[in-house]
């Protein structure tokens, strides 16, 4: 080690037992002894070795493991807080924005996207005492429900006004009224999350008009908080619907006591809210976050002594828990209505996922709450900047727990980077999640082979890949040829089998894996877990591939 320091060497090439000595010193390393998996002999081997050397030396991970945490550099240099290495540099210097290509086809084959109302229902399900009401025919609700049930393996409350032919033509006001009254009688929800579908958007129900008419006509309905989002099936995708529902909630529910919906009765809710506490902050949890992710975010915020109101809080409703009380037809957990009503008293908004931007802006406009938008929460830099903001908002130091987790992540990055180097990964995910995963992979030295997404989004213009088609799984199958790994939802299972490429399941729906309610890929710990999960897939494939490679050398004799 002293020699390396003295000679200012770039790299150590040695046997496996010295590997971790080098890595702990944050020095690139190449294994040339007994335990290695890569063949370096002969002319062909030279190429292999050159590739490995190049990869080891130029992996983007070195900047990450060498860079101090922003709060440390702030203390040391008292200068600019974020000095994030090569990756951030690359990202801001990306000369060409990623081209978003809408594929013009007459037929979608094996659709990747889910429609907006499903996303809206998912967001609504993160609110306590909620009953989502999907304004369409029975099937709209039944299909969405089945998808959610299969993904979360939990009972999912969603209801339907069961539109049939006549109301479709004459208007759905009677069906919505009956549905609301039936719900009040049967499960008495604290709040109803209303969203439209392709059917009712096409027949043109004037939802604002209908709601006004019903509120004027029936005091019971007037007293019921209703958030309403317009989510036609024929536009956008799941994450747009999710975002629309969160926008509807922050627009229709909090603060405003003169709101025509509630009259004066709203004040009642403030008695057990926590208004005015300076420590209250709003966390807008975007569609890329699974319940386990939301829990991790909540834990991070709380660790700084802040009191987060998380909207929507899937970690309390779809985290797969048994309930002690009697069965309720509505959501058993989630953001309490009282907290949503008190969102105006939050000191700051953390918006996680780009699709939460508009909701954060609505809160800013309505209540003057400043916000920070975090596109990603996976990967060292992303978490660094989140914790740094928490640090500044709370005026508290970063807890030791996270400092240790950061060191663990850096170590994990070092251990894992051998397996990510030069790997081509094909992604088919919704924009928010795609952005997180793509940049995280790039930061690990892997290559985004192709990326397919479901809907337009500003963040799709800044991906570590030239173009991103908005397409289906047929496109994905065509473009993913030659990839080392696929990352998509469970629907990609059969195409992965056809391509002979491993599939790591992410996004929605994942119906052939347990534990979707607890999956976590955010924060230092979550990132570390993702690193191990995917690193293990690569490690296994590496050995097989290296063996196959030398056998082809042998056979070419």
Partner 1 sequence: MKLSAGKINELLTQPGCEHNDKKKEKGKNKACQQTAQPGAAQGGCAFDGASIALVPITDVAHLVHGPVACSGNSWGSRGSLSSGPMIYKMGFTTDLSENDIIFGGEKKLYKAIHDVKERYGPAAVFVYLTCVTALIGDDIDAVCQAASEKFDIPVVPVTSPGFVGSKNLGNRIGGEALLEYVVGTREPKETTPYDINLIGEYNIAGEMWGVLPLLEKVGIRVLSKITGDARYHDVACAHRAKLNVMICSKALINMAHKMEERYGIPYIEESIYGVEDVNRLLRNIAAKLGDADLQARVEDLIKAETAKLDQALAPYRKRLTGKRIVLYTGGVKSWSIVSAANDLGINVVATSSKKSTEEDKARIRKLLGEDGIMMEKGNAKK
Which residue, 455, 154, 404, is CA-closest to 290? 154
For position 234 contacting partner 1 by CB under 8 A, the verdict is yes
Smallest distance from the beta carbon of 505 to partner 1, in angstroms? 15
Element (H, E) at 557: none
Q: Which long-range contacts (CB under 8 A, 24 or more apart) does 488-494 make?
A: 488/112, 488/427, 488/428, 488/429, 489/112, 489/428, 489/429, 491/110, 491/112, 492/428
For position 142 contacting partner 1 by CB under 8 A, the verdict is yes
Distant-in-sequence, close-in-space partners of 425: CB < 8 Å, separation ≥ 6:
441, 446, 447, 448, 449, 483, 484, 485, 486, 487
Return d(Cα 128, Cα 505) in angstroms, integer: 28
Q: SS3 for 38?
A: coil
138 vs 257, which CB is nearer to partner 1? 138
Token pair for 109? 């084959």
57 vs 109, which CB is nearer to partner 1? 109
Q: SS3 for 186?
A: helix
Q: SS3 for 367?
A: helix
Smallest distance from the beta carbon of 451 to partner 1, in angstroms? 20
For position 124 contacting partner 1 by CB under 8 A, the verdict is no
Candidate list 143, 270, 504, 532; residue touching partner 1; CB under 8 A: 143
Site string for partner 1, 95-114 (x = CB under 8 A): ----------xxxxxxx-xx
The neighbour count for residue 534, using CB atoms within 10 Å, is 25
Q: Which stretch, 32-40, 62-70, 129-137, 514-522, contacts partner 1 (CB under 8 A)? A: 129-137
The count of residues interacting with partner 1 (CB under 8 A) is 60
For position 137 contacting partner 1 by CB under 8 A, the verdict is yes
Q: Which stretch, 16-24, 231-239, 337-345, 418-426, contacts partner 1 (CB under 8 A)? A: 231-239
Q: SS3 for 204?
A: coil
238 vs 425, which CB is nearer to partner 1? 238
Smallest distance from the beta carbon of 260 to partner 1, in angstroms? 23
Query: Residue 402 phi/psi, 5° resolution?
Result: -75, -30
Q: At what angle do helices 431-443 and 380-394 cross, to 10 degrees?
A: 110
Contact indicator for 193, 134 with CB cutoff of 8 Å: no
Which residue, 245, 248, 227, 228, is CA-closest to 236? 245
Q: Which stretch, 61-69, 131-139, 207-215, 428-436, contacts partner 1 (CB under 8 A)? A: 131-139
CA distances from 212 to 173, 226, 228, 373 (A): 11, 11, 12, 34
Site string for partner 1, 347-386 (x = CB under 8 A): ----------------------------------------
100 vs 531, which CB is nearer to partner 1? 100
Return d(Cα 207, Cα 198) in angstroms, integer: 14
For position 129 contacting partner 1 by CB under 8 A, the verdict is no
For position 115 contacting partner 1 by CB under 8 A, the verdict is yes
Return d(Cα 155, Cα 139) in angstroms, integer: 18
Smallest distance from the beta carbon of 449 to partner 1, in angstroms? 23
Candidate list 160, 385, 457, 527; residue touching partner 1; CB under 8 A: 160
Smallest distance from the beta carbon of 430 to partner 1, in angstroms? 13
Of 176-215, binders to partner 1 (CB under 8 A) are 176, 178-183, 186-187, 197-199, 202-203
Contact indicator for 191, 253 with CB cutoff of 8 Å: yes
For position 303 contacting partner 1 by CB under 8 A, the verdict is no
Of 444-483, binders to partner 1 (CB under 8 A) are 472
Q: Which stretch, 163-171, 275-283, 360-368, 441-449, contacts partner 1 (CB under 8 A)? A: 163-171
Smallest distance from the beta carbon of 469 to partner 1, in angstroms? 14
**Region of 451 on the Ramachandran plot (φ > 0 left; ψ -120 to 50 alpha; else beta):** beta
Q: Which stretch, 78-86, 164-172, 363-371, 460-468, contacts partner 1 (CB under 8 A)? A: 164-172
For position 271 contacting partner 1 by CB under 8 A, the verdict is no
Q: Which stretch, 6-14, 143-151, 398-406, 423-431, contacts partner 1 (CB under 8 A)? A: 143-151
315 vs 457, which CB is nearer to partner 1? 457
Smallest distance from the beta carbon of 539 to partner 1, in angstroms? 31
Of 498-517, binders to partner 1 (CB under 8 A) are 511
Burial 352-387 (b: 16+ CB within 10 A, else e): bbbbbbbbbbbbeeebebebbbbbbbbbbbbbbbbb
Kindly state the greatest CA–CA separation across the chain.
Answer: 87
28 vs 172, which CB is nearer to partner 1? 172
Smallest distance from the beta carbon of 478 to partner 1, in angstroms? 11
Q: Tokens 């500044």 label which residue?
A: 392
Element (H, E) at 79: none
Which residue, 170, 165, 124, 118, is CA-closest to 141? 118
Which residue, 459, 484, 482, 456, is CA-closest to 469? 456
For position 281 contacting partner 1 by CB under 8 A, the verdict is no
144 vs 377, which CB is nearer to partner 1? 144
CA angle, corner 129, sides to 228 and 172, nearest 5? 35
For position 140 contacting partner 1 by CB under 8 A, the verdict is yes
Q: At what angle do helices 70-77 and 380-394 cross, to 10 degrees?
A: 60
Q: Tokens 């086809």 label which residue?
A: 105
For position 491 contacting partner 1 by CB under 8 A, the verdict is yes
For position 138 contacting partner 1 by CB under 8 A, the verdict is yes
Of 33-92, binders to partner 1 (CB under 8 A) are none
Q: How many residues does the chain have?
A: 557
Binding site for partner 1 (CB under 8 A): 105-111, 113-115, 117-118, 133, 136-140, 142-144, 146-147, 150, 155, 159-165, 168, 174-176, 178-183, 186-187, 197-199, 202-203, 232-235, 237, 327, 329, 472, 491, 494, 511
């Amino acid at each position: 080690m002293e020699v390396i320091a003295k000679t200012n060497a770039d790299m150590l090439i040695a046997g496996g037992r010295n590997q971790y000595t080098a890595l702990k010193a944050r020095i690139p390393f190449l294994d040339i002894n007994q335990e290695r998996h890569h063949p370096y002999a002969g002319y062909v081997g030279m190429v292999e070795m050159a590739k490995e050397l190049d990869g080891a030396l130029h992996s983007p991970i070195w900047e990450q493991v060498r860079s101090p945490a922003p709060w440390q550099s702030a203390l040391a240099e008292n200068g600019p807080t974020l000095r994030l290495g090569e990756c951030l540099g690359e990202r801001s210097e990306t000369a060409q924005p990623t081209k978003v290509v809408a594929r013009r086809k007459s037929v979608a084959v094996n659709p990747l996207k889910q429609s907006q109302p499903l996303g809206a229902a998912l967001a609504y399900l993160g609110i306590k005492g909620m009953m989502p009401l999907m304004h369409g025919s029975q099937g709209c609700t039944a299909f969405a429900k089945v998808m959610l049930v299969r993904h979360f393996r939990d009972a999912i409350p969603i209801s339907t006004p069961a539109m049939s032919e006549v109301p479709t033509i004459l208007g759905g006001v009677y069906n919505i009224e009956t549905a609301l009254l039936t719900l009040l009688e049967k499960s008495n929800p604290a709040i109803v999350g209303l969203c439209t579908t392709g059917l009712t958007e096409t027949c043109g129900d004037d939802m604002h008009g209908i709601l006004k008419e019903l509120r004027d006509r029936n005091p019971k309905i007037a007293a019921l908080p209703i958030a309403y989002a317009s989510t036609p099936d024929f536009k956008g995708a799941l994450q747009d619907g999710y975002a629309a529902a969160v926008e509807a909630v922050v627009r229709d529910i909090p603060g405003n006591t003169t709101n025509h919906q509630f009259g004066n009765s709203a004040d009642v809710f403030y008695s057990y809210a926590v208004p005015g506490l300076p420590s209250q902050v709003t966390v807008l949890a975007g569609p890329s976050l699974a319940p386990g992710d939301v829990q991790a975010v909540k834990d991070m915020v709380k660790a700084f002594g802040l009191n987060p109101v998380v909207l929507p809080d899937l970690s309390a409703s779809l985290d797969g828990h048994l309930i002690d009380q009697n069965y309720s037809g509505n959501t058993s957990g989630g953001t309490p209505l009282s907290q949503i009503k008190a969102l105006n008293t939050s000191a700051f908004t953390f918006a996680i996922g780009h699709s939460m931007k508009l909701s954060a802006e609505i809160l800013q406009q309505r209540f003057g709450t400043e916000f920070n938008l975090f596109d990603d929460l996976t990967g060292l830099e992303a978490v660094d900047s989140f914790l740094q903001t928490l640090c500044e908002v709370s005026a508290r130091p970063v807890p030791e727990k996270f400092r240790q987790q950061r060191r663990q992540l850096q170590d994990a990055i070092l251990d894992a980077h051998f397996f990510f180097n030069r790997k081509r990964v094909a992604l088919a995910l919704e924009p928010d999640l795609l952005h997180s995963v793509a940049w995280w992979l790039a930061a690990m030295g892997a290559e985004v082979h192709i990326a397919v997404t479901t809907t337009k989004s500003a963040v799709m213009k800044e991906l570590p890949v030239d173009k991103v088609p908005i397409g289906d799984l047929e496109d994905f199958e065509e473009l993913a040829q030659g990839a080392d790994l696929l990352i998509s939802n469970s629907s990609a299972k059969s195409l992965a089998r056809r391509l002979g490429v491993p599939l790591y399941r992410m996004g929605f729906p994942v119906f052939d894996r347990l534990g979707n309610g607890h999956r976590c890929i955010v924060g230092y710990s979550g990132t570390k877990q993702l690193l191990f999960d995917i690193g293990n897939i690569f490690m296994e494939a590496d050995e097989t591939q290296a063996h196959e490679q030398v056998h082809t050398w042998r056979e070419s004799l």
